[in-house]
């Protein structure tokens, strides 16, 4: 049986030989991660879907620039990140939608609180404050927060994806968390 890495390497080789079908293996493997990373950057479901799809399209067209000794995801992540940051720069004056859009129902695990409007309102308010604060972080700090806390990447995986040293990742994560705490404390104080 083929390991995922072997399958990915074979798919990339087939793609370079003109097989579009082989790229589906790669897309299927990373589409969920790509979507959620984009969502973390732009805060809008539809934009995240569009941006992740555009990034896969660009990756397919530029697959010949991926060197044989590099892994696909760190290379692809740079394309996706650039797509997201370009989108954010383009629409920086537009307010991003909340990640808790009206189109999705709220799921609460504890049944006794499932119809408690106050509990629902508090959760939505907390999520909104968090995503607004994340949106205020600069790009280098936002990306480490998203990869660590929303994608559950290890420090090593983040370093490999961002092409940084592990020490740089740890440092940026420390300062990102510190800034996020400050932003959330300011917002909490402003709401009282």
Same domain, 72 and 137: no
Q: Do 136 and 74 share a structural domain?
A: no
pTM over 0.85: no
CATH number at 144 reads 1.10.10.10
- Examine the pLDDT at 45 and tell me if it is beyond 80: yes
Instruction: Give the model's confidence band at 113: pLDDT under 50 very low, under 70 low, under 90 confident, else very high.
Output: very low
pLDDT confidence of residue 130:
82
Local structure of 34: helix, strand or coil: helix
Q: Which of 92, 126, 149 is the last residue of a domain?
A: 92
Q: Structural domain of residue 2, as residue ranges?
A: 1-92
Instruction: Please say if the pLDDT value at position 127 is more than 80.
Output: no
Q: What is the pLDDT of residue 155?
A: 93
In a shared domain, residues 9 and 48: yes
CATH number for the domain that contains residue 32: 1.10.1740.10
Q: Is residue 105 part of a domain?
A: no
Instruction: Determine the average pLDDT of the residues in 97-102.
Output: 40
User: Position of tokens 């996020």?
Assistant: 180
Average pLDDT of span 140-151: 88
Same domain, 36 and 75: yes
pLDDT of 168 higher than 90: yes
Kindly state whether residues 61 and 147 are assigned to the same domain.
Answer: no
What is the pLDDT, as a whole number, of residue 10?
82
Residues 17 and 82 in one domain: yes
Which residue's entry shows tokens 């009282």?
192
Residue 67 in domain: yes
> What local confidence, expressed as pLDDT, does residue 189 receive?
52
Residues 6 and 66 in one domain: yes
pLDDT at position 83: 92
Number of folded domains in the chain?
A: 2
**3-class DSSP string for 9-65:** HHHHHHHHCCCHHHHHHHHHHHHHHHHHHHHHHHCCHHHHHHHHHHHHHHHHHCHHH
- Looking at the domain assignment, is residue 100 inside a domain? no
Is 124 in the same domain as 83?
A: no
| 70 in a structural domain | yes
Question: Same domain, yes or no, for 50 and 128?
Answer: no
pLDDT for res 7: 74
Q: Residues 152, 74: one domain? A: no
Question: Of the ranges 3-7, 52-56, 135-139, which is most confident?
Answer: 52-56
| In the predicted structure, residue 158 carries a pLDDT above the cut 60 | yes
With a cut of 80, say whether residue 99 has pLDDT above it.
no
């Amino acid at each position: 049986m083929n390991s995922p890495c072997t399958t990915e390497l074979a798919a990339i080789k087939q793609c370079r030989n003109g097989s579009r079908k082989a790229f589906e293996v790669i897309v299927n493997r990373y589409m969920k991660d790509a979507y959620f990373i984009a969502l973390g950057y732009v805060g809008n479901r539809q934009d995240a879907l569009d941006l992740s799809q555009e990034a896969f399209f660009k990756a397919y067209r530029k697959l010949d620039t991926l060197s044989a000794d590099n892994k696909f995801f760190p290379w692809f992540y740079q394309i996706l990140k650039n797509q997201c940051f370009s989108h954010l720069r383009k629409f920086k004056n537009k307010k991003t939608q909340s990640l808790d859009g009206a189109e999705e129902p709220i799921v609460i695990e504890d049944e006794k609180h499932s119809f408690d409007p106050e509990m629902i309102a508090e959760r939505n308010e907390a999520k909104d404050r968090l995503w607004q604060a994340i949106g205020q972080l600069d790009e280098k700090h936002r990306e480490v927060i998203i990869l660590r806390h929303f994608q559950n990447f290890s420090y090593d995986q983040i370093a490999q994806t961002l092409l940084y040293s592990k020490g740089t990742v740890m440092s940026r994560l420390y300062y990102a968390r510190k800034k996020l705490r400050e932003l959330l404390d300011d917002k909490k104080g402003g709401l009282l």
